Amino acid sequence: MQKSDRLALGIDVGTSGVRAALIDSNGALAGFSAAWMADNGSDLRDPAVWERTLAAALAGLDPLLRSRAGAVSVDGTSGTVLALDADGAPLGNALLYNDRVEGPGIPAAIAEVAPRTSAAHGSSSGLARAMALAANPGTRRIVHQADWVAGLLSGCPWISDESNALKTGYDPLLRCWPIWLDALIAPDLLPKVMPAGAQAGIVTAEAATRYGLPSSAIVVAGMTDGCASFFATGADRPGDGVTALGTTLTLKLLSHEPIFDPDCGIYSHRIGTYWLAGGASNSGGGALANHFTAQEITDLSARIDPDCDSGLDYYPLPQAGERFPLADPELSPRVDPRPDDDALFLKGLLEGIARIEATGYRRLAGLGAPPLARLRSVGGGARNTVWSAIRERMLAAKALPAESEEAAVGVAQLARAALVTAPGTDR
């Protein structure tokens, strides 16, 4: 097979299923398949369910296209970890990204030694879950979800990446597991960490037979699902931002420099030569849902002129408390005065959320990130054209369409980059 004929395979392991995307040398989608966890078992924490769902997703790809995969990379849910025994087999179920450890002991121990800027604080961090699993008899290694799934292909489940390892305490500045971790967890329990996009192994003969992939295809170190979703949109240069308009408002901005602000929950993933910084506001679709149904928002939006300001100064929140762009657990929603015209009221709410978004990007820039230059939007709110026009007016950045919202496409970009420098084959 010639180098130009090879495809890059991205595998996204989410909470509900596994998605697989094949892209060509230009980044165009060549094949896509999805399979659901519920069809392969009832326990989402069971790695055997992940494996069966992975097999089903890969089987759903066209076999001829699948046979052209020259490199593969995997993303997983951030902070999902599992324990392995001495043979490298899962030791019971995983702890998922939203599982909290019980009791105050573990988070208090982390707080005592971890720097404030570490992403490993709290009872729901990857490190907290790793410490809980480390106490189980027979544990010989703690790995992340993406590590283990990639290991099914390479035979090396104890290799991680700088993105997935971040919330387990990895120091992306020093590019190592820091010394302070030794007081919390045995160093030999932690996986080897490689830069996202680095070659971590090759597809074994056994995996090639099991999953229908070419033997010796490159296995590339991946990243978290959130980072993969960012790159799926086509964002690829400093100053590129992606806003997710879901129940909450999440911003990510690509930067030359790392950005950290623990008070606002801002931390940065190291991806190649860049840093992906982000923050999440409590505002968003959840705040709108306090006042209108989805159909009412659609109907009222048709009556809104997005090109002029409403004159209303709102800070919409679903309830008291904000975390970004300002950290104030007592901040109350500001949605008064309410005009008699529901369309005008909705316009004020949409402007208020757009104002929070603009403040968030300015906050990131004030901490050292580049100013927002190009903006892509994902999530349900991105489909509201009136809201998009309001946001474009307030953010004053070039709005571009998201090329994809599939994390599998984003992580496939890492595999595609590896193919640029990888040698061709005659397979």
Quick: pLDDT tens for 272-302. 999 999 999 999 999 999 999 999 999 999 9
- Does the pLDDT of residue 4 top 70, yes or no? no
Per-residue pLDDT of 71-124, as tens digits, reads 999 999 999 999 999 999 999 999 999 999 999 999 999 999 999 999 999 999
Per-residue pLDDT of 350-379, as tens digits, reads 999 999 999 999 999 999 999 999 999 999
CATH of domain 237-399: 3.30.420.40
Contact by Cβ (8 Å): 317, 333: yes
Q: Which residues contact 15 (CB under 8 A, 6 or more apart)?
A: 37, 44, 77, 96, 97
Mean pLDDT to the nearest integer, 126-149: 97
Share of the chain above pLDDT 70, in %: 97
Q: What is the DSSP letter of 3?
A: G
Which range is least confidently modeled, 1-15, 69-83, 301-315?
A: 1-15
Measured from the Cβ of residue 396, the count of other Cβ atoms closer than 10 Å reads: 10
- Does the pLDDT of residue 70 top 80, yes or no? yes
Per-residue pLDDT of 156-195, as tens digits, reads 999 999 999 999 999 999 999 999 999 999 999 999 999 9
In this predicted structure, what is the pLDDT of residue 426?
38
Q: What is the mean pLDDT of the chain?
A: 95
Mean pLDDT to the nearest integer, 142-150: 98
In this predicted structure, what is the pLDDT of residue 301?
97
C-alpha dihedral, 413 to 32 to 209 to 41, nearest 10°: 110
Contact by Cβ (8 Å): 168, 180: no
Contact by Cβ (8 Å): 262, 117: yes
Q: How confident is the model at residue 3 (pLDDT cuts 50, 70, 90)?
A: low
CATH of domain 3-227+407-421: 3.30.420.40
Q: How confident is the model at residue 5 (pLDDT cuts 50, 70, 90)?
A: confident
Q: Kindly give the pairing relationship between strand 249-255 and strand 267-271.
A: unpaired
In the numeric block, the tokens 């992580």 are attached to 411
Compute the distance between CA of residue 296 and CA of residue 161 in angstroms, rounded to an integer.
44
- Does the pLDDT of residue 214 top 50, yes or no? yes
pTM, full prediction: 0.94
In this predicted structure, what is the pLDDT of residue 108?
97
Q: What φ, ψ does residue 345 adopt, rounded to 5°?
A: -65, -45
Distance between alpha carbon 154 and the CA centroid of its chain, in Å?
23
- Does the pLDDT of residue 142 top 80, yes or no? yes
- Does the pLDDT of residue 246 top 80, yes or no? yes
Q: Kindly give the pairing relationship between strand 274-281 and strand 249-255.
A: antiparallel
Compute the distance between CA of residue 328 and CA of residue 317 in angstroms, rounded to an integer.
12
Per-residue pLDDT of 381-411, as tens digits, reads 999 999 999 999 999 999 999 999 999 999 9
In this predicted structure, what is the pLDDT of residue 359?
97
Q: What does the buried/exposed string (b/e) look like for 18-51 if buried means 16 or more CB atoms within 10 Å of the residue's CB?
A: bbbbbbbbeeeebbbbbbebeebeeebebbebbb
Between CA 324 and CA 165, with CA 238 as vertex, the angle to 5 degrees is: 65
Compute the distance between CA of residue 258 and CA of residue 266 in angstroms, rounded to an integer.
10
Q: How confident is the model at residue 216 (pLDDT cuts 50, 70, 90)?
A: confident
In the chain, list all ranges with CATH 3.30.420.40: 3-227+407-421, 237-399
Contact by Cβ (8 Å): 153, 203: yes
In this predicted structure, what is the pLDDT of residue 427?
36
- Does the pLDDT of residue 423 top 70, yes or no? no
